[in-house]
Structure formats: C-alpha cells, structure tokens
Amino acid sequence: MLGQIIAVTITVASLGPTEKAYNEYLGYKAVAHGKVSAAEAKSWGAPKVSGHKYVLMQPASGSPHYIRFVETAAYPDYQHMQTTGWNAVELLVQDPDAVHAKLKNSPFKIVGEPRGLSADSKTKAMQVTGPSNELLYLTNPAGDANKAVSEVDRFFVVIDGSTDYTKLTSFYNDMGAKVGAPAAYRLGVFNRANGLDPEMKHEIAMARLTDGPVAVELDHFPAQIKDRVGRKDDLPPGQSIVTFEVPNLDDVKQPFVQKPAKMSGKPYDGRRAAVVKGPSGELLELVETKR
C-alpha cells in the first residue's frame, strides 16, 4: 500500500535563512513558494498553519523527491533524537568527506563526523543539523542501488523511532510495507543526544515500500524516550510529515485525521490526500497515485 515517498515536511522558524542554506551548501533549488492552504492545514490536523509561508525544494539532480519547509513559531526546547516519531532525513551524497569540508563554516552544525557504519562497512555517513535543528544524515551507501547524481542528492531513507517496537513494525506491516528482520547498529548521534555511550547499539529494521527507491528506517528507542509534543493545532517541531503515494485512499484501513480531499499544487497536482497517524503520533500523508 505505501508506495513512493515524494516529500518530507520540516517546520522551521525562519524560511529565508533555511532556503538560502539549503541552496548554497546542499544545492537544493526552490521549485515552489506559497502559503499553506486551509485545506492542507485541516488535512494535517494543524489549522494554525493555514496561511503560513512554505517553500518546496528539490535536489540539484532534479529527482522528484521534495523537502517542504513550513514556517511556524520556533520550538526552542526541541532537540533532535530526543523524542519518538520522525527524527531524521537521510540524503545521498557523493563524497561525505568533501561535504564535511564544505559545511564546516556554514549554517549547518556538524553533529557526527564522516564514519563507516561499522569497521568493515563501505558505507560512510555524517550527520548535521540545519538552521532549525532539523537532523540530516549525509550518506554515501555501498553498492549501486542508491547513488548520488549530484553532490548532495535526494533523500533515500526517513527515520521513524519508537519505544514500542512491536507496535511500530506491526503498523508498517499493516500498511503494506515489507519490514525486514532487525539488527543491532551503533546510533552515535542518538546516543550523544541522550547522554548514552556513543558506541551503544540499538535495534534497527528497514521497511521497504511497494514502489520507489526510498525506505523507512525503524529505530527501537529506549523506554525513557518520550513522544514528541507540539502546540495544539500546529505542526510538531522538526521533521513533521512524510508524504507517501498510495494507489487508492479508499483501501486504507487506518483512520484519517480528516476526510480525503483534493489538493492543488506540488506535490499533489490535484490528487486526493489524507493523513494518518503512526503509533507515536507521527504524521503520514498519503497521496493517491490516480488522478
């Protein structure tokens, strides 16, 4: 049921500096500016963001995988990887070391130096936070399945974390994803954010979707991690929404935040959309592939 991921929505305190930073340092280009419509805000369960400014940005490669930044009041207490739900976006890069050098004097804060996933891994990644403390993984994966066409390219993994791993994996299985067997990996940036041993390992599984090159990483967080709490009728801080394509909204068994409705502009292009909530309250926006 869950198909291609076409957009990730991130809330930011100030749109201008965010757009400038992503354009100058990551090569992302704005493809649409506008204001959140009342229909979109209602669909998200966030009527307060109706009329708020947004920008939709695309990687230099031209890949149709968008990051949508929505301007809302700052969440000064928000810290990446300290709550459940959507926690990070993983972008393909050609050379993590070159990107690392480029970002040293930039609006992005380096929170994880370029490093292999394990001692013998050929996959190398680093982590940075953006102007509103949003967390990005910048990764050059081993193998040919995912390769960056531009210096910094599209997202290829989005990260969802939960303290109830059974509920999390069951949710994605019920939504038609294929969840693989979990394995233990070091989550250095998570460990540092929560005062844990940097080398501590946590269970991770990948939820493969029915279409497209993007996957959902399912992280098993320790019991002390709390659910993210946003302001009433507003979008939550950080990575707020992940937008998936689905064949038919009428086949979705999960309850919608609001009834499906046609939405205009990118990434909808006149198609029906609706939002469901994951087990930690994370927002999954579903857009029909049919028009």
Determine the pLDDT at residue 115.
Answer: 87
CA dist., res. 69 & res. 53, Å (int) = 9
Query: Which residues face 78 on adjacent strands?
Result: none
The CA-based diameter of the chain, rounded to the nearest angstrom, is: 50
**What H or E segment, with its residue span, contains residue 10?**
strand 5-12
The first and second tokens of residue 215, run together, are 């996957």
Contact 57, 66 (CB under 8 A): yes
The DSSP line for 264-277 is: -STTTTT-EEEEEE
Distances (CA, A) of 112 to 2, 146, 189: 31, 21, 6
How many structural domains does the chain have? 1
Domain range enclosing 233:
5-288
* CA 203, 281, 5, 238 torsion-angle sign: negative
Cβ atoms 72, 50 nearer than 8 A: no
Q: What CATH code is carried by the domain that includes residue 113?
A: 3.10.180.10
Query: What are the pLDDT tens digits along the chain (291 aa)?
Result: 899 999 999 999 999 999 999 999 999 999 999 999 999 999 999 999 999 999 999 999 999 999 999 999 999 999 999 999 999 999 999 999 999 999 999 999 999 999 877 666 788 999 999 999 999 999 999 876 789 999 999 999 999 999 999 999 999 999 999 999 999 988 999 999 999 998 999 999 999 998 889 999 999 999 999 999 999 999 999 999 999 999 999 999 999 999 999 999 999 999 999 999 999 999 999 999 976
Sheet with 239-246: strands ordered across: 29-35, 53-58, 66-71, 5-12, 239-246, 283-288, 272-277, 261-262
Return the half-sphere exposure (C-beta side, CA atoms, 13 A cut-off) of residue 143: 3
* Residue whose pair of structure tokens reads 């990070």 in the numeric block: 88
